[in-house]
Structure 1
């Protein structure tokens, strides 16, 4: 069975915007085994189809997904390449494993890394050389960390180049919006926020940059190179990276669906601006050919010259020697004593996964065409591995005392893969997984993420094993012996900044908005009360001693006399700008797919950012009016206190907007 830690780990780290999957656990150095021996332990090869039939049928119903396509490779043979359910509910077209094209999302990336390794094995590129030596049409942002370390193809393949998370250049709403790769990269390349080779932070743009290296070195567009050097030798005649899909096979592309309130809604295609990161379409049969070639059970020297295959699958980076890490573009995973390399992918409606067990001559590919495909994919792969790649369960562990640095480990950690530099920072931060770490009196370390709690037992200082499994957890200490990072497989978590912790954010946001709301509601209500309340006198002031006399008495300047009114109008404008900006953003998020919104930055969204900039200027004027209010005695004392409180709320509110990159005009 899959233990609790395994399930929570895959739930935590699979199915993000890029379709990233995670590998956690101890690395296993096992030799190549006879695949038929592996199957003999659980089921014969001819049982694969009956197992997959039953499991996929169950998952399609359980997760309300219209269709799926599956390929299974055992040894030299594609033992299954089959479609299930419907490719298009409107036409009633069934999924064909031979004909139906599924959008495989980030499972496109292994094709990029296969192309790069081809060039490395033929001497066209060096994997440890600065990529700028190969790029002719795209510039790479600099990063001033005092080391001037260059980014290499090895960094790009292991997602350790140090790029910021970037939504720009990903999902587009029409094929006409797709630009040539070099143009898309030049205009949307993310900033570098950490030195290369330090932390894994999954990057779509990093993979696309590697594809541009392939294009610049070979003098061919990436999609042409892949077609000639990978697709054609493997007989993958229907697969393509081209957007839109060529006319001769466009009608065979499966439709993606969202299931909501009992109905299936077709969703338009996610066009990918940085296409090599996720635009590929393929069939189960053709993905089976790719799996066979990756496993090396058939000789394909044109696709894998020299040691290309072995170099692709060996480990290239890990956060800790006790953890799985990245192969060359593939994610390492451990299933019992079986070493896996895998990659998954997701668009808004398609969810796919490719898993290879190279030492066992076993591979599987699956793709679903509905938004419920995320959990369905995870369940299918786990069930398949349990059935056909049995793994011994680990003996439970008990803690032997308080872990070293116990107090230094406790706290909240957030995934490092967040946008730090653009307007998408709030969205990526909210979506980023967090891990709460506590240490019990008996020495057990607990992690909680997504409502699931896991138990860990110390193996050595800063390294823990799941109490009921083989998963590993590791920490990194700062100079002051305080843990700065937590590592779970390829996923890196950093100690969450205090300002981003949910309780603090909730208090700051709620308090500032409530005070602002008291101004926009309270001031007009007070004015109406003063005008119409019983006993009100001329001029609308009534007998309220806290309302400064206006119009001004003789001798006051016009500006001085209008001061109280201008003060409240200015503060009201600053408050109004905040609420208008938040309401406009919420409306766009409600009616526009967030991936497209932050990728394309439509004109209405760009114009919204004028509001907080104008509101900031009004806030600065409000600060000046606050000083004048106390100096010149605007209103009564209680009203001045309230105005000061509103000013403070504005400063907090606009400070938060600045922190979350909302006080900048998008490019």
Structure 2
């Protein structure tokens, strides 16, 4: 189907809209309490199973409806036993098959990483692995290596705390069909991310790092990852319905939960993605009750029944804090080993969450209470719902003892003003066009209000307000989530940490990399390029109506040259916008359009250089009137600025 010029313009305007994250965000992805914040939260003892079930039934019914999720499983373990395991809603809407906690197979994404890190600790216990040893020492017979970009080597300690310093990359993680899955070693070797910061300095979540740790493990045991995990973890824990196999074994396929998205009032079913790196968790599929057994083993010092998968000391080491992100704010959540700190209401909580495009999961352990909670949903709405559930559960059974802050202290407005700007996650690509994902979805814009509150906003998350606890430390209004700033030697805010999101560091970006500048440049560029095309195609008709003479050959050539350059930049923007929208498909198998776009971006750049030269001739020879010469110059300048912003996005790597 051919697209009209108007259709193209509409699509291009979306480029500017998509990068103006704070301005258009309406859907909240942060955690909010399920109770009215103005009401006193009623505390309950987690001792009455029926009371818990009644509360969960009401809570989950509300969540599935509000967040447009067909089905979910919830498992609560307590005191060495499954306290409650229940399914809600539907695993398959078409057949009406319900979710059953001990039967329905869900994809749980990166929550499965906890199994990988448990296996690594087994290797440490066996004496085959050391957490502080150079990774390359274990890769002598492997095609995978870690480059010596920095003097400090990368270790399993760095990998398990997501502080190895790798850039973020999705390359090699997804393929079109199971037959295209290659050995983990080949995938890791071919798609090695760049080391972009010294290890141990900052936390930045890394799928590659976990996959690399799994590869190190199997190199030492000379086996496959699935075979190792099956024999050392799944079998002793009786996790008989858990697998990395793709496609699912025939006995499990009839019980698979379908993944859905909600669009225009209807649910759309999706086929499973095919993941290539088992240790990072994408291909991990399981039931709620199987994950309950895994939680019980971690809460019972490595034991499940008579089976032991870890020594008590190893479990304690995995659950303790390994990285403190701010020494001045010890209450800020950091990283345990493999586990993410999720403390709330002064309760020690460690766990993990997982995301695939359609499935959202969360596992949270309360080690001091011998309590664990696991939940998984089969639609994107589960992303905010899982944190809502955790916060509501914690508030109900382990409520906060002090009152939340409400009003900013004296002088807060001035201190907040110094913190404003954009803060971007370090979990971002530094070398490829996938950087678009991090820039548009992992950037927080920090602002202030006149009365001294701090505000934050990002794509997919509404504006939030924060009140100052003390300089550089803020608390969510009406809640206890923390926002903490780290300052450089000059006393300027340089980094931002979110209390409920342990595996991330947000770095303040210079003004010219802000979303506002990016949005403005791309929007202005799109409008300028379209104006050139309108003049290009409309000039003959205008001359005919006004009965004016045609331009000289040189004038026609100059105008045509800028028209081609404008068209090229518009095509490049459309191609990479669509690649961003269809990211998973492009990662699995790059489209011809994307491959063409990677060539056209350089053609457009060369053309822009030519337009600069042409601009000189336009002024020297006095083409057209002054207004058109200024327009020509302005469009050329905007083409340069667009190229600059695309370079910052790595859409145009040089």
TM-score range, shorter chain: 0.7 to 0.9
* Aligned equivalent of 1:139: 144
* Aligned equivalent of 1:256: 259
Specify whether residues 405 and 649 from structure 1 end up closer, same or farther in structure 2 by C-alpha distance, changes over 3 A only: closer
1:524 and 2:537 matched: yes
Q: CA deviation at 1:215?
A: 1.4
Deviations 1:313-356 (A, max 9, x none): 01111211321111101111222232010111121111111110
* Aligned equivalent of 1:533: 545
Residue pair 1:88, 1:254 contacting (<8 A) in 2 also: yes
CA distance in 2, matches of 1:453, 1:92: 39
Specify whether residues 92 and 333 from structure 1 end up closer, same or farther in structure 2 by C-alpha distance, changes over 3 A only: same
The worse-fitting range, judged by mean Cα deviation, of 403-412 and 356-365 is 403-412
Which has more radius of gyration? Answer: 1
Deviations 1:164-207 (A, max 9, x none): 12122334342233322112212222212211111111111111
* Aligned equivalent of 2:199: 196
CA distance in 1, matches of 2:45, 2:415: 43
Specify whether residues 580 and 395 from structure 1 end up closer, same or farther in structure 2 by C-alpha distance, changes over 3 A only: closer
Specify whether residues 306 and 380 from structure 1 end up closer, same or farther in structure 2 by C-alpha distance, changes over 3 A only: closer
1:577 and 2:568 matched: yes
* Aligned equivalent of 1:329: 338
Partner SS state of residue 169, structure 1 = coil
Q: Structure 1 residue aligned with 2:366, among 342, 348, 357? A: 357
Q: Structure 2 residue aligned with 1:602, among 591, 598, 607? A: 591
CA distance in 1, matches of 2:643, 2:266: 42
Residue pair 1:295, 1:362 contacting (<8 A) in 2 also: yes
Partner SS state of residue 307, structure 1 = helix
* Unmatched tracts of structure 2, length 5 or more: 1-24, 33-42
Q: CA deviation at 1:103?
A: 0.5
Deviations 1:422-477 (A, max 9, x none): 11122321111404154867xx5523234333333344x54445575544333222
Taking only aligned residues, the RMSD between alpha carbons, in angstroms, comes to 2.9
CA distance in 2, matches of 1:58, 1:405: 40
1:510 and 2:519 matched: no
* Aligned equivalent of 2:166: 163
Q: Structure 2 residue aligned with 1:421, among 411, 424, 431? A: 431
* Aligned equivalent of 2:352: 343
* Aligned equivalent of 1:314: 320
Specify whether residues 575 and 159 from structure 1 end up closer, same or farther in structure 2 by C-alpha distance, changes over 3 A only: same
Count of residues paired in the alignment: 606
Specify whether residues 503 and 664 from structure 1 end up closer, same or farther in structure 2 by C-alpha distance, changes over 3 A only: closer
Residue pair 2:29, 2:384 contacting (<8 A) in 1 also: no
TM-score (norm 1): 0.84
Residue pair 2:464, 2:476 contacting (<8 A) in 1 also: no
CA distance in 1, matches of 2:603, 2:222: 48
The worse-fitting range, judged by mean Cα deviation, of 641-650 and 225-234 is 641-650
* Aligned equivalent of 2:311: 305
* Aligned equivalent of 1:28: none
Q: Structure 1 residue aligned with 2:70, among 35, 59, 66? A: 66
* Aligned equivalent of 1:21: none
Q: CA deviation at 1:44?
A: 1.8
TM-score (norm 2): 0.86
Q: How does 1:124-273 map to 2 (within 5 A)?
A: 124-135=128-139, 136-142=141-147, 144=149, 147-273=150-276
* Aligned equivalent of 1:92: 96
Specify whether residues 78 and 485 from structure 1 end up closer, same or farther in structure 2 by C-alpha distance, changes over 3 A only: same
The worse-fitting range, judged by mean Cα deviation, of 110-119 and 87-96 is 87-96
CA distance in 2, matches of 1:588, 1:298: 44
Q: How does 1:343-492 map to 2 (within 5 A)?
A: 343-394=352-403, 396=405, 401-402=410-411, 408-438=418-448, 444=452, 446-449=454-457, 450-459=461-470, 462-465=472-475, 469-489=479-499, 490=502, 491-492=504-505
Specify whether residues 481 and 335 from structure 1 end up closer, same or farther in structure 2 by C-alpha distance, changes over 3 A only: closer
Partner SS state of residue 343, structure 1 = strand
Deviations 1:207-243 (A, max 9, x none): 1111111111111111111111000010111101222
